[in-house]
Structure 1
Amino acid sequence: MSIFEEQHSRKNTRSVKWDMLKPVFQTDDVLPMWVADMDFRAPEQVNEALIERSKHGIYGYTIVDDAVKDSVVKWIHRRHHWHIDPNWLSFSPGVVTSLHMAVQALTEPNDKILIQTPVYTPFYNVIESHDRQIVKNPLRYEDNYYQIDFDDFEAKLKQGVKAFILCSPHNPVGRVWKREELEKMTKLCLDYNVTIISDEIHCDLTFPNERHIPIASLSEEINDQTVTCMAPSKTFNLAGLQASYIITPNQERRKKIEAQLSKQGVHGLNIMGNTALEAAYLYGDSWLDELREVLLSHKQYVEEMLKTHIPEITVTHSEGTYLLWIDCSALNMDPKELREFMIHKAKVGLNTGKDYGKEGSTFMRMNIACPRATLEEGVRRIIQAIQNR
Structure 2
Amino acid sequence: MAYNFDEIVDRENTNGIKWESVQDIYGASDLLPLWVADMDFRGPSPVMEALKQRAELGVFGYTERPDSLYEAIEGWVLRKHQWRIVKNWICWSPGVLPALTACIQTFTKPGDRIIIQPPVYPPFFKVVKDNGRELVTNPLRYVNDRYEIDFEDLTNKFRTTGAKMLILCSPHNPVGRVWTRDELSRIEAICTEFDALIISDEIHADLTYPSFQHIPMASLSAGAAERTIVCFAPSKTFNLAGLQSSYIVIPNKELRIAFNKTMARGHLSMSNTFAITASESAYRDGDEWLEQCLAYIRANIDYAAEFFALHIPEIKMINPEGTYLLWLDCSRLGLDTAGLRRFMVKEAKLALNEGVSFGTEGEGFMRLNAACRRATIEEALQRLLNAVKARR
Partner of 1:328: 330
Quote the Cα distance in structure 2 between the aligned partners of 1:335 and 1:63: 48
Q: SS at 2:164's partner residue?
A: strand
Q: SS at 2:248's partner residue?
A: strand
Quote the Cα distance in structure 2 between the aligned partners of 1:348 and 1:272: 33
Alignment of 1:210-221 (within 5 A): 210-221=212-223
Deviation at 1:65, TM superposition (A): 2.0
Please tell me whether residue 124 in structure 1 is matched to residue 131 in structure 2.
Answer: no
Alignment of 1:1-389 (within 5 A): 2-158=3-159, 159-389=161-391
Q: Which amino acid aligns with 2:332?
A: A
Cα deviation 1:340-380 (Å, max 9, x = unaligned): 11011000110000000000010000000001011110111
Q: SS at 1:388's partner residue?
A: helix
Contact 2:3 2:289 in 1 (8 A): no
Quote the Cα distance in structure 2 between the aligned partners of 1:315 and 1:139: 17
Quote the Cα distance in structure 2 between the aligned partners of 1:303 and 1:2: 24
Q: Which amino acid aligns with 1:106?
A: F
Q: Which amino acid aligns with 1:338?
A: L
TM-score relative to the length of structure 1:
0.99
Deviation at 1:2, TM superposition (A): 4.3
Contact 2:3 2:292 in 1 (8 A): no
Contact 1:169 1:175 in 2 (8 A): yes
Q: Percent identity?
A: 46
Q: What are structure 1's unaligned runs of at least 5 residues?
A: none
Quote the Cα distance in structure 2 between the aligned partners of 1:164 and 1:65: 33
Contact 1:208 1:293 in 2 (8 A): no
Q: Which amino acid aligns with 1:260?
A: T
Deviation at 1:105, TM superposition (A): 1.0
Q: SS at 1:118's partner residue?
A: coil
Deviation at 1:169, TM superposition (A): 0.2
Deviation at 1:52, TM superposition (A): 0.2
Quote the Cα distance in structure 1 between the aligned partners of 2:314 and 2:330: 8
Contact 1:207 1:295 in 2 (8 A): no
Aligned-residue RMSD, C-alpha: 0.9
Q: Which amino acid aligns with 2:23?
A: K
Quote the Cα distance in structure 2 between the aligned partners of 1:268 and 1:180: 37
Q: Which moved more, 1:166-175 or 1:260-269?
A: 260-269
Quote the Cα distance in structure 2 between the aligned partners of 1:213 and 1:310: 34
Quote the Cα distance in structure 2 between the aligned partners of 1:42 and 1:180: 34
Cα deviation 1:197-216 (Å, max 9, x = unaligned): 00000000001221100011
Quote the Cα distance in structure 2 between the aligned partners of 1:268 and 1:42: 24
Quote the Cα distance in structure 2 between the aligned partners of 1:298 and 1:97: 32
Q: Which amino acid aligns with 1:219?
A: S
Deviation at 1:317, TM superposition (A): 2.9
- Count of aligned pairs between the two proteins: 389
Quote the Cα distance in structure 1 between the aligned partners of 2:327 and 2:312: 16
Quote the Cα distance in structure 2 between the aligned partners of 1:203 and 1:24: 29
Q: What are structure 2's unaligned runs of at least 5 residues?
A: none
Contact 1:117 1:139 in 2 (8 A): yes
Q: Which amino acid aligns with 1:321?
A: T
